[in-house]
Chains A and B, each alone.
Chain A
Amino acid sequence: MLDRLTKDLSISLLSRTLDGAEARHKALADNIANANTPGYKRSDLPFQEMLRDAVSGRAMMVTTDVKHLPGRSGVSRLAFEPIRSMDSSRIRVDGNNVDIESEMAKLAENSLLYSALSDLLSRRISLLRSVINEGRR
């Protein structure tokens, strides 16, 4: 009876996307923290691509610890692992390939996306709440 609540597709998907955005923040934060570390190579997390692949069934599934989020099995088992770039097009003398400005731009974009997703998730929950409360005495 409660499936429509616990297995609500919007909630599951939005929640997983937020997981991805959070993981990407971590990767970008690490890049910026190591902006001056010799030999450091930046990493990134194209989580939206990963989700697309998972939803369409193309991705390799890796088990994670997301026990309490039901949803399409591919999406719920997706592990957001950062991808380290060995991109040598912009390596400095000390072997570091982090461009602070570029990282900051990605950071801002990611943060805004997180806020937007969070807001949508909140609205979805509010909608369900309105529907339920309409049925009250």
Chain B
Amino acid sequence: MRLFRTLEHSASALTAERFRMDVIANNIANANTTRTPEGGPFQRHLAVFASRLEKGQPAGVQVLGVVKDQTPAKLVYNPGHPDADANGYVSMPNVNVVSEMVDLISAARAYEANVTVINEAKKMVQTALQIGK
């Protein structure tokens, strides 16, 4: 049934935004991580969204994957730091916490909006069930 299908599409958005929030939360948690297993400071991660299509018809959204932000690391002068280079500069992660918070709020808002969409669809189905009663 058509309305049931849109529920699935809206749910795909919930999954996607939730995933994005996880990625952002991880960025924030690693805002000061100067040492990673791959060497070098932590690099900001980005979730890549794309429209989802089913048989050529719009069907919500999907996460294509996660990419690393290639913006160069911030160099902060801190000679006492264990990871300081020869000149006393530490390579800090390219994470801007304020910007991450804004993205987090945007993701949360989108999440809530999609919950509302699902609730509206439910309401519509419920009124349709009353037809003839």
Residues in A lying within 8 Å of B, measured CB to CB: 18, 21-23, 25-26, 28-30, 32-38, 40, 43, 82, 100, 103-104, 107-108, 111, 114-115, 118-119, 121-122, 125-126, 129
Residues in B lying within 8 Å of A, measured CB to CB: 2-3, 5-6, 9-10, 12-13, 16-17, 20, 49-51, 58-61, 106-107, 109-110, 113-114, 116-117, 120-121, 123-124, 127-128, 130-133
Query: Contact between A32 and B120 (Cβ–Cβ < 8 Å)?
Result: no
21 contacts between A and B (CB under 8 A): A22-B124, A23-B2, A25-B6, A28-B117, A29-B6, A29-B10, A30-B60, A33-B10, A33-B12, A33-B60, A35-B113, A36-B16, A36-B49, A37-B49, A37-B51, A100-B110, A114-B127, A115-B124, A118-B124, A118-B128, A125-B132
Query: Contact between B131 and A29 (Cβ–Cβ < 8 Å)?
Result: no
Contacts A25-B124, A108-B120 given; does A33 touch B131 at CB 8 Å: no
Closest CB in chain A relative to B107 CB, distance in Å = 7
Query: Contact between B124 and A32 (Cβ–Cβ < 8 Å)?
Result: no
Query: Contact between B109 and A100 (Cβ–Cβ < 8 Å)?
Result: yes
How far is A12 from B45 in the complex, measured between Cα atoms in Å? Answer: 53
